[in-house]
């Protein structure tokens, strides 16, 4: 990719942008004279966007939603990786926990919402954060266990014979070695987290991105509802891009290793 000429670069930009441009144009023109209630012209939606998402909804709906997602997700990441290292390091513990964890992972996360609602009601931040954290933790936990389990024995033994301390071994050998699998789990957890962020707000009707979109729908403010759907889509795309950026940096050593192993 590094030795792409100017022509190659232009070609790449063109192939990247061509289809999206065609699709947006198609939506724009196909809906231009639309009188259908559900499918307003794209023009109307675009015009509605800045008036709908002003500073107030950003401050009181979008940012709080994202903050809850971030807090819940980070709790899940810390708990999942921490517990995963503990469980993965002991074969007995792993075999005891495995069926229970498989069951907990298989429970579709949205059913957590009624269960958590039983305990704490479903209005404040806490219940929503718990929902997100509990939903995200299982893929991270199970992948970490798997990552720790499949660590190279030789690496562990080498660390021991070089007299590496427990903390240093944990940090440099165990967590490092398991990090590609932790990243896999974290990626799965992110999409679950976004789903839970939205539906936790659909359930307990106060403010938030999901709640705002549903209020537009219930009030039949269709162009505004569409702007919400588009905003949510953009957030999903932005989060996945952000994740890839972080992963790219954190796992740079792993890609290099894989390339070296392939003899490239």
Partner 1 sequence: MTTLSALAGRVATRPAPLTKSRPAALGMLGVALAVGLLEALPRLGIVDSRFLPPFSTMARSLAGQLTTAEFWTATGQTLRGWALGLAIAMAAGIAAGVVVGSVPLLRALTASTIEFLRPIPSVALIPLVVLIYGSEMPSALVLVVYASFWQVLVQVLYGVADVDPVVRDTARSYRFSRRAVVRTVVWPTAMPYVVTGFRLAASVALILEITAELIIGVPGLGRSIGVAQSSGAVAETYALVLVVGVIGVLVNVLARAVERRALRWHTSVRGDL
**Three-class SS of the chain:** CCCCCHHHHHHHHHHHHHHHHHHHHHHHHHCCCCCCCCCCCHHHHHHHHHHHCCHHHHHHHHHHHHHHHHHHHHHHHHHHHHHHHHHHHCHHHHHHHHHHHHHHHHCCHHHHHHHHHHHHCCCCHHHHHHHHHHHHHHHHHHHHHHHHHCCCHHHHHHHHHCCCCHHHHHHHHHHHHHHHHHHHHHHHHHHHHHHHHHHHHHHCCCCCHHHHHHHHHHCCCHHHHHHHHHHHHHHHHHHHHHHHHHHHHHCHHHHHHHHHHCCC
Q: x/- string (CB under 8 A) for partner 1, residues 120-159?
A: ----------------------------------------
191 contributes a contact to partner 1 by CB under 8 A: yes
Stretch that binds partner 1, among 41-49, 160-168, 172-180, 215-223 (CB under 8 A): 215-223
Out of 51, 102, 152, 157, the only residue in the binding site for partner 1 (CB under 8 A) is 102
Residue 175 or residue 222: which is nearer to partner 1 going by CB? 222
Residue 175 or residue 239: which is nearer to partner 1 going by CB? 239
16 contributes a contact to partner 1 by CB under 8 A: yes
Out of 25, 32, 111, 246, the only residue in the binding site for partner 1 (CB under 8 A) is 111
Residue 108 or residue 165: which is nearer to partner 1 going by CB? 108
Interface with partner 1 (CB under 8 A): 15-20, 23, 38, 91-92, 95-100, 102-111, 113-115, 117-119, 191-192, 194-195, 198-199, 202-203, 210, 213-214, 216-217, 222, 225, 228-229, 232-233, 236-237, 239-240
């Amino acid at each position: 990719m590094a030795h792409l000429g100017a022509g190659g670069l232009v070609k790449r930009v063109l192939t990247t942008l061509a289809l999206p441009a065609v699709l947006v144009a198609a939506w724009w023109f196909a809906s231009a004279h639309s009188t259908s209630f559900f499918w307003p012209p794209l023009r109307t939606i675009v015009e509605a966007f800045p008036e709908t998402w002003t500073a107030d909804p950003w401050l009181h709906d979008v940012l709080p939603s994202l903050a809850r997602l971030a807090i819940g997700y980070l709790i899940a990441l810390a708990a999942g990786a921490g517990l995963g290292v503990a469980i993965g390091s002991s074969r007995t513990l792993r075999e005891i926990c495995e069926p229970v964890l498989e069951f907990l992972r298989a429970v579709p996360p949205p059913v957590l919402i009624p269960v958590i609602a039983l305990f704490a009601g479903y209005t404040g931040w806490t219940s929503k954060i718990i929902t997100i954290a509990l939903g995200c933790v299982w893929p991270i936990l199970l992948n970490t266990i798997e990552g720790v389990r499949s660590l190279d024995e030789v690496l562990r033994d080498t660390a021991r014979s070089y007299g590496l301390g427990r903390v240093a071994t944990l940090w440099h050998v165990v967590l490092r070695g398991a990090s590609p699998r932790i990243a896999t789990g974290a990626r799965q957890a992110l999409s679950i987290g976004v789903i839970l962020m939205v539906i936790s707000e659909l359930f307990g009707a106060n403010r938030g991105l999901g709640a705002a979109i549903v209020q537009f729908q219930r009030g039949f403010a269709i162009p505004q509802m569409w702007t919400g759907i588009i905003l949510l889509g953009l957030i999903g795309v932005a989060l996945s891009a952000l994740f890839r950026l972080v992963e790219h940096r954190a796992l740079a050593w792993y890609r290099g290793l894989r390339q070296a192993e392939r003899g490239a």
